A and B are shown apart, each in its own frame.
Chain A
């Protein structure tokens, strides 16, 4: 009886700790990406002077300064806004980001819930954010916001499909949808009979990896697919009316989702947390570090493209999705399926 209780308590505690960690990982990931890529990498690439200045060494204070600025700003709700929807929208976007983290493993035991439908779940909840975007755009009572929200909706419908289809190749090869299972499948894989570093699926699924990154870029509304926010056209799109802390929510949602998608890409294609020749507790310690490195690598690709390319027009974006990405991902699935059966 007591033992059962103890187990229950422990289970509850573990869940609480896991939840707290996941809750804190969104600001952590967002701030990390914001600092490393948005402030530092962009400053170097674009020879910006501003973000390199505050605080002396390399402008380390810039991010803290930005945070203080956001907290100080007045929280404005537009007069014609649908107040409750307006207030709820940023929360919904954050919740969708939060839910994605539940199924991403960073170690043999470091995962909130190893769902059997892990990848399916992650992609499904990540598209919840479009509801938040539509709510924000509609409730702002602003035409620019509305245009931005509608663009975002159209874009998410178009790019959800290649995103899902790109992962199907991996699922076929791994034989499981669980993200933990996919990591083990890569860890236990062999490259032409040599199992030293396992078999990261990027080697066999390179087309899928590129498709996934492209579609994720659109899903995250990063340049060249950033029409929903398009500062030079619709002045920030759906979050044009948000100020201060609520804007910070959108900012965290954007970068937190980028962090999550980089995590999914690292898990699906780069072997996730798995460290060669390391098992058990050591893997639990080293896993997060390896995972973080891979996530930063994928994020680097995402932000590199973001800072280099101009943006497409909405109709060009749709035609890219429907004419190129989706057929290509279907061919990828077909080839993977044939090879899986044949070999």
Chain B
């Protein structure tokens, strides 16, 4: 085997097989088949935006897979250093755009903790309600879209249709369907609008029906089960080692939910709810866990509507917010998994440094391990089952 250097371009090497006689070359071709490199994404319907997965294929079997991220990097960690605290929420609810209200909560909590301010109970309960509503909106979409990724078009439309009801509720309170920007340090901007509680009760009934429908139409379908059972199994220890969190980890049998096990936040300790786990760790388990968590979230919202305390929704805070020097780390259980903010303040109107830990970034880091040896259709199933949002990966 010889390699030939081309003068002037030292990095360029001619494939040695090109120099071997033709007969040998034919022998080579017959004996070894070349792997095909397939770019799934950045423009691909299954990647929820612009994730790129470079897979090497042997036939249809994946030899290796490398997720390439960064096509949507918006530099939010750096941008927060040039914004005041109230302005930061505008940015960070664009991280995971499906459940943006849940994104605001940990940051506001961190700021409140450094300031020593506590939101009044009514504000905390409404925050809990809106966080759970955004969880429902996110998961209802997942429950439908999972069907689309394995080939059934209909559930996806049901997912979008049913999510609309929940988005209307969020819009009625906050004024924004996707980007509410409703949290303030020390509380929330406004109280609930008139009639919202009754409307929410009605919609929660619809959502329960919708969950039943997805259980029948998608989870109960034999083909869906054949496609997802045993597909993309994450063992508990491997998942934990890669930093997988949230429903993905609970589907691997790890009984760990920050709402129950983490630092106390919002009103979760006062509500009656359960954490669901599934022993299998495959894509079907992830679907099942999210389905149960949606039902649990609906139960929680109904409890909140019943037990909502009276009182103000805003604590007394100065007009211009200056957060005293200090640091805080707050991590919460967001729909996609664990989300955390490490906020360092030097006493200015804006944070000195914010480190954002997002769930999807860690969740997709397991892909090279998970995708090895599966078929191309399973790549899509696994990607959909992990349920990531590109904004949540790239920030």
Co-assembled chains A and B: yes
Question: B125-158: which have CB < 8 Å to A?
Answer: 147-154, 157-158
* Neighbour of B223 across the interface among A45, A47, A224, A230, CB < 8 A: A224
Closest Cβ–Cβ distance, residue A52 to chain B (whole Å): 13
- Per-residue CB proximity of B353-395 to A under 8 Å, as 1/0? 0000000000000000000000111111000100000000000
Report the separation of the CA atoms of residues A230 and B379 in the bound assembly, to the nearest whole angstrom: 13
- With A309-B223, A314-B60 already in contact, the answer to whether A232 and B154 are too (CB < 8 A) is no
Closest Cβ–Cβ distance, residue B150 to chain A (whole Å): 4
Chain B interface: which size bin? 20 to 34
Which B residues contact A (CB, under 8 angstroms)?
36, 38, 44-46, 60, 147-154, 157-158, 161, 217-218, 221, 223-224, 226-227, 375-380, 384
Name A225's closest neighbour in chain B (CB-CB). Answer: B151
| A227 surroundings in chain B (CB, below 8 A) | 377
- Contacting pair A314 B157 (CB below 8 A): no
- Contacting pair A313 B158 (CB below 8 A): no
With contacts A230-B151, A313-B377 known, what are 12 further pairs, Cβ within 8 A? A48-B157, A223-B151, A224-B151, A230-B377, A232-B148, A233-B380, A235-B44, A310-B147, A312-B226, A312-B227, A313-B375, A316-B227
- Contacting pair B376 A147 (CB below 8 A): yes
- Per-residue CB proximity of A139-165 to B under 8 Å, as 1/0? 000011001000000000000000000
Closest Cβ–Cβ distance, residue B288 to chain A (whole Å): 16
Interface-central residue, B45, B148, B377, by most chain A CB under 10 Å = B377
- With A46-B154, A47-B157, A235-B45 already in contact, the answer to whether A314 and B223 are too (CB < 8 A) is no
Report the separation of the CA atoms of residues A311 and B384 in the bound assembly, to the nearest whole angstrom: 15
A3 interfacial contact with B, CB 8 Å:
no
* Neighbour of B376 across the interface among A46, A224, A233, A312, CB < 8 A: A233
- With A224-B223, A233-B377 already in contact, the answer to whether A307 and B154 are too (CB < 8 A) is yes
| B223 surroundings in chain A (CB, below 8 A) | 224, 309-312
* Neighbour of B151 across the interface among A143, A235, A310, CB < 8 A: A310
Number of interface residues of A (CB under 8 A): 28
- Contacting pair B157 A313 (CB below 8 A): no
Interface-central residue, A227, A232, A307, by most chain B CB under 10 Å = A232
| B380 surroundings in chain A (CB, below 8 A) | 232-233
| A226 surroundings in chain B (CB, below 8 A) | 151
Report the separation of the CA atoms of residues A234 and B379 in the bound assembly, to the nearest whole angstrom: 11
Name B149's closest neighbour in chain A (CB-CB). Answer: A232
A231 interfacial contact with B, CB 8 Å:
yes
- With A143-B38, A230-B151, A309-B223 already in contact, the answer to whether A315 and B45 are too (CB < 8 A) is no
Report the separation of the CA atoms of residues A231 and B149 in the bound assembly, to the nearest whole angstrom: 9
- Contacting pair B224 A46 (CB below 8 A): no
- Contacting pair A311 B153 (CB below 8 A): no
A293 interfacial contact with B, CB 8 Å:
no
| A235 surroundings in chain B (CB, below 8 A) | 44-45
Name A46's closest neighbour in chain B (CB-CB). Answer: B157
Closest Cβ–Cβ distance, residue A63 to chain B (whole Å): 19
| B60 surroundings in chain A (CB, below 8 A) | 147, 314
Which A residues contact B (CB, under 8 angstroms)?
42, 45-48, 143-144, 147, 223-224, 226-227, 230-235, 307-316
Report the separation of the CA atoms of residues A311 and B157 in the bound assembly, to the nearest whole angstrom: 17
* Neighbour of B150 across the interface among A42, A46, A311, A314, CB < 8 A: A311
Report the separation of the CA atoms of residues A228 and B274 in the bound assembly, to the nearest whole angstrom: 43
- Contacting pair B44 A47 (CB below 8 A): no
Report the separation of the CA atoms of residues A227 and B381 in the bound assembly, to the nearest whole angstrom: 13
* Neighbour of A313 across the interface among B45, B217, B378, CB < 8 A: B378
- Contacting pair B378 A308 (CB below 8 A): no
Main secondary structure on chain B at its contact with chain A?
helix
Closest Cβ–Cβ distance, residue B215 to chain A (whole Å): 15
* Neighbour of A309 across the interface among B38, B152, B375, B377, CB < 8 A: B152
* Neighbour of B152 across the interface among A234, A308, A316, CB < 8 A: A308
Report the separation of the CA atoms of residues A226 and B218 in the bound assembly, to the nearest whole angstrom: 18
| A46 surroundings in chain B (CB, below 8 A) | 153-154, 157-158
- Contacting pair B45 A231 (CB below 8 A): yes
Name B384's closest neighbour in chain A (CB-CB). Answer: A232
Report the separation of the CA atoms of residues A309 and B378 in the bound assembly, to the nearest whole angstrom: 17
* Complex A-B, nearest 5 residue pairs according to Cβ-Cβ distance, in ascending order: A311-B151, A46-B157, A310-B152, A310-B150, A310-B151
- With A232-B45, A233-B376, A233-B380 already in contact, the answer to whether A313 and B227 are too (CB < 8 A) is yes
| B151 surroundings in chain A (CB, below 8 A) | 223-224, 226, 230, 232, 309-311
Name B43's closest neighbour in chain A (CB-CB). Answer: A235
| A231 surroundings in chain B (CB, below 8 A) | 45
- Contacting pair A316 B154 (CB below 8 A): no
| A309 surroundings in chain B (CB, below 8 A) | 151-152, 221, 223
A-B contact pairs, 12 of them (CB 8 A): A45-B154, A47-B161, A147-B38, A147-B376, A223-B152, A223-B153, A232-B151, A309-B223, A310-B150, A310-B221, A311-B223, A313-B226
Closest Cβ–Cβ distance, residue B164 to chain A (whole Å): 10
* Neighbour of B377 across the interface among A45, A307, A314, CB < 8 A: A314
| B384 surroundings in chain A (CB, below 8 A) | 232
Closest Cβ–Cβ distance, residue A107 to chain B (whole Å): 37
| A147 surroundings in chain B (CB, below 8 A) | 38, 60, 376
Report the separation of the CA atoms of residues A312 and B378 in the bound assembly, to the nearest whole angstrom: 11
- Contacting pair A47 B150 (CB below 8 A): no
Report the separation of the CA atoms of residues A147 and B378 in the bound assembly, to the nearest whole angstrom: 14
Closest Cβ–Cβ distance, residue A42 to chain B (whole Å): 8
| B221 surroundings in chain A (CB, below 8 A) | 309-310
Closest Cβ–Cβ distance, residue A147 to chain B (whole Å): 7
Report the separation of the CA atoms of residues A311 and B376 in the bound assembly, to the nearest whole angstrom: 13
- Contacting pair A234 B226 (CB below 8 A): no
Report the separation of the CA atoms of residues A339 and B375 in the bound assembly, to the nearest whole angstrom: 45
- Contacting pair A234 B376 (CB below 8 A): yes
Report the separation of the CA atoms of residues A144 and B36 in the bound assembly, to the nearest whole angstrom: 11
Closest Cβ–Cβ distance, residue A76 to chain B (whole Å): 16
Closest Cβ–Cβ distance, residue A241 to chain B (whole Å): 14
| A45 surroundings in chain B (CB, below 8 A) | 154
Report the separation of the CA atoms of residues A119 and B45 in the bound assembly, to the nearest whole angstrom: 40
| B227 surroundings in chain A (CB, below 8 A) | 310-313, 316
Closest Cβ–Cβ distance, residue B135 to chain A (whole Å): 23
